[in-house]
Structure 1
Amino acid sequence: MRLLRLLFSLMYRPRVEGLHLVPERGAVIVAANHLSFYDSVVIPLVVPRRVVFLAKAEYFERGRLRRWWFRATGAVPVRRGDGRAAQGALDAAVEVLAGGGAFGIYPEGSRSRDGRLYRGRTGVAWLALTSGAPVVPVALAGTGALPRRTRITVRFGEPLHCTGLPGDPRARRAATDEIMAAIGALSGQDRADRYNTHPGGTGTPSAAKGSVSSP
């Protein structure tokens, strides 16, 4: 990973702001806007600790380079459209955080194809309220043009400490809205007052508590 980080930095010269706001150790949720498949490549390459993301199960089944990358970064495979798999993804995320790890999530649920920031799904708040981990908001810009040479910006914000009970829908909604407001302030994106959906009419894996996203 050290060599990959160096090569990535030399090739793209990303502008990284607020990296010191990501705790060097201990449980943390990294919550980002979602513009591209490459978001799950960029964040692990700029953060100097392992950030575990969910990844579609098919990424582990085909494509040697993709398979290697997601295994190397400790990604958790998940299948879309399966409620039991979604709950398993939530449970896997809690395990990562319980072990003092960093877990990456896209509260929008799927990639924005028009550049707007969509309403957040409440899985991110459930994780924060269940684990007690702080949430570091992240704004990505320029990743939609990858892998072409382009200027990338990754901006980290102040950690958020969510309060309330994970079983309280109002607490989850309030915490999610707070997280999305922080991401929006960092990204400057126009806001869409609705949920994003995956092409074809299906969202990302979801559970009663909300959605946990994969690239």
Structure 2
Amino acid sequence: MREIVLDTETTGFKPEEGHRLIEIGCVELHNHVATGKTFHCYVNPERDVPPDAVAVHGLTTEFLADKPLFNDVVAEFVAFIGDAPLVIHNAAFDMHFLNWELRIAGYPVMPKDRAIDTLLMARQKFPGAPATLDALCKRFGVDNSSRTYHGALLDAQLLAEVYLELRGGRQAGLALASGPATGGPAAIRIDRPYRAPRAHAPSEEELAAHAELLKKLKNPLWAAE
């Protein structure tokens, strides 16, 4: 099963207020395991990036000035995600921005139920506990030491590991194929001495005792005709 773990960075919180998408990061999963295929791009928002947003992701107006517009990357982005489910932390936020940009670019918007929201998964699994990506990395022992700023591709890679843990984690002990070729333990060989098959035919005494028992039963089904 193919899934896409996705994260975005923006200039603010609401596209209705003129804020735009500035970064997209995607990680491909197959059967919940990363394949190594990714999609990543920066986007020129055609506006300034407020200082409070820069403090979060470090992407300045000057840095984004020579980056492509969303119209220039949308075709590649849409082709990469295909029709796969999207794994997103706080999916409502990212889906709102993505659909806003897709609509402007003349592309169909994506239904909300296409997204798998790991924020909701975490809140259901750990009620009352912190459910930020950093908190979940700490809970599951996922190394996020390189996360100085929020970054779409790095956050998608971290979320891919967190998502696997939210689903139950890697259960190597359930692997059906194990052995030297797969990195599992070597097969154990047990040598047992040969014993000839034992005879199981009843003796005359056993047959007589059985016949006496049948006489005491009413219409025994196993009685000889």
Is the pair's TM-score, using the shorter chain for normalization, greater than 0.5? no
Q: What's the TM-score, normalizing by structure 1? A: 0.24
The structure whose RCO (Cα within 8 Å, separation 6+) is larger is: 1
Q: Considering only CA atoms, is the larger Rg found in Structure 1 or Structure 2?
A: 2
